[in-house]
Amino acid sequence: MLRASFLYLSHRRGLQRFVTRQRLTASLAYRFVAGDHLDDAVRVVSDVNRRGWSASLDHLGENVSEEKAARAATDDYLAAFERIAAERLNANVSVKLTQLGLDISPDLCRELLTGILQRAQQLDNFVRVDMEGSAYTQRTLDLVLALHERFPNSGVVLQSYLYRTADDVARLNAAGVRVRLVKGAYDEPPEVAFPKKADVDGKYEAEMQELLLHGVYPAIATHDDRLIEAAKRFAREREIPSDRFEFQMLYGIRRDLQDRLLREGYRVRIYVPYGTEWYPYLMRRLAERPANLLFIVRSLIRERRAA
Ligand SMILES: Cc1cc2nc3c(=O)[nH]c(=O)nc-3n(C[C@H](O)[C@H](O)[C@H](O)COP(=O)(O)OP(=O)(O)OC[C@H]3O[C@@H](n4cnc5c(N)ncnc54)[C@H](O)[C@@H]3O)c2cc1C
C-alpha cells in the first residue's frame, strides 16, 4: 500500500516542485544522492574508489518532454566522461532513455545515445542503459540490441519482476550484451509483473544463475542478503571466478554489505546519482523501504535537539 503510494507520488510533477524546495525532503534525498553538481559526484566517486569500489554515475533526470532538455542531459553525460578520464576515476555511467528524449522521438533518442556511446568508446568506457517502466522495455531492448554490435561497450538492465525477463535474459546472453539484473522499481500491473515479492525473488535467483552461467560479465544488483549469498554459493559450486561478475548497490544503501563483499574479495560497483532532479528517484527509494522516511525524520529531530 505504502509502496504504491510513493510510486504514485513519483509521477506528480506539481508535488515535485513543492517537495524539492523543502529542507526536510532535500536532507532525505542527500542520503541517496551525491549532490546537485558533477563536482559533488566526482568527490563521492573519488571516495568510493579510494575505499575499493567502482562506480556508475547517474545524472538524474527522466521523462523529459523537450528536445533542449534531452540535448542538455547528453552534454552532461559527455562532461561526466571527460571528468572520469581527467581524474582517472574507476567509473562508468548509467543513462535513462526517457532522459534522452524517448518520449519525444525515437530518432532523437537514438542519435543522442549514439553520441554518448561513441564518446565512451573513444575513452574506453562503458554505458549502462537503465530500465524504466514496462511501457519502455521493448523499445529499450530494441535500441540497445541495435547499437550493441557497433558499440560493445553498452549494456542494459533487466527486471526480474516482469514475466518476460527469463526470455530477455536468454536473448541478451545469446547476443553477448552485458546485463545488470535488478528486481524492478516501478509500479507494474499484474498483467506484466509478478505481484508477489516471493515470486520476484525466486525469478531473480533463477535469472541470476542463467546470467552467471551464460552471460557476459553480469551485474548482480541487489541489497538482498539471501540472494547475494545464493549468487556467491552458485559461483563457487560452478567454479565461476569472482572477476567474471560484479555486485552492484545503490549509494547510501547497505554500506555494511558493500564493505563485507569487498573484504571477501568480490567486485562491487556503487551506483552514484547526482543532480537536482532527484524527486522520482527518492520516491522509488522510499517505496522500497518506507521506514527510510521515519529514520530520517528521527535523525533530523535528534540533530535539531543537539543544535
Ligand atoms: C545498482 C542498482 C541499479 C538499479 N537500476 C535499476 C533500474 O535500472 N531499473 C529498475 O527498475 N530498478 C533499478 N534498481 C532498483 C531495484 O529494482 C530495486 O528496486 C532495489 O534494488 C531494491 O531491491 P533489492 O534487490 O535491494 O531487494 P529488496 O528485497 O527490496 O531489499 C532487500 C534489503 O535491502 C535493503 N534495501 C532495499 N532497498 C532499500 C532502500 N531503498 N533503502 C534502504 N534499504 C533498502 C533492505 O535492507 C532490504 O531488506 C537498481 C538497483 C541497484 C542496486
Q: What is the CATH number of the domain that holds 248?
A: 3.20.20.220
pLDDT for res 294:
72
What's the rounded Cα separation, in Å, for the pair 173 and 214? 6
The values of phi and psi at residue 187, to 5°, are -90, 105
Per-residue burial over 124-138, b = 16 or more CB atoms within 10 Å of its CB, e = otherwise: ebbbbbbbbbbebbe
Ligand 1 atom 42 nearest Cα: 289
pLDDT for res 288:
80
pLDDT for res 295:
65
**Residue 101 is assigned to a structural domain of this protein:** yes
**Residue 26 is assigned to a structural domain of this protein:** no
**Residue 295 is assigned to a structural domain of this protein:** no
223: CA distance to ligand 1 center in Å?
6
Select which of 180, 267, 269, 285 is catalytic.
180
pLDDT for res 59:
95
**Residue 307 is assigned to a structural domain of this protein:** no
Ligand 1 pocket check: which of 99, 288, 292, 293 to mutate, most ligand atoms within 8 Å of Cβ?
288
Which residues have CB under 8 Å from 5's CB, separation 6+?
287
What's the rounded Cα separation, in Å, for the pair 279 and 290? 15
Domain count across the chain: 1
pLDDT for res 206:
98
Ligand 1 pocket check: which of 128, 159, 165, 222 to mutate, most ligand atoms within 8 Å of Cβ?
222
Q: Which helix (H) or strand (E) holds 247?
A: strand 246-250
Of the candidates 178, 197, 177, 176, the one whose C-alpha atom is nearest the C-alpha of residue 188 is: 197
What's the rounded Cα separation, in Å, for the pair 289 and 53? 24
Domain of residue 273 covers: 33-277
**Residue 20 is assigned to a structural domain of this protein:** no
Which residues have CB under 8 Å from 169's CB, separation 6+?
158, 179, 181, 207, 210, 211, 215
> What's the average pLDDT block by block, 10 residues per block, for the chain (307 residues)?
72 67 69 91 97 96 93 96 97 98 97 98 98 98 97 98 98 98 95 97 98 98 97 98 97 92 96 87 81 67 61
pLDDT for res 292:
73
Determine the atom of ligand 1 nearest the C-alpha atom of 269.
Answer: 1
pLDDT for res 238:
97
Instruction: Establish whether 180 is a catalytic residue.
Output: yes
Kindly state if the Cβ of 224 falls inside 6 Å of ligand 1. yes
Which residues have CB under 8 Å from 27's CB, separation 6+?
296, 300
pLDDT for res 152:
97
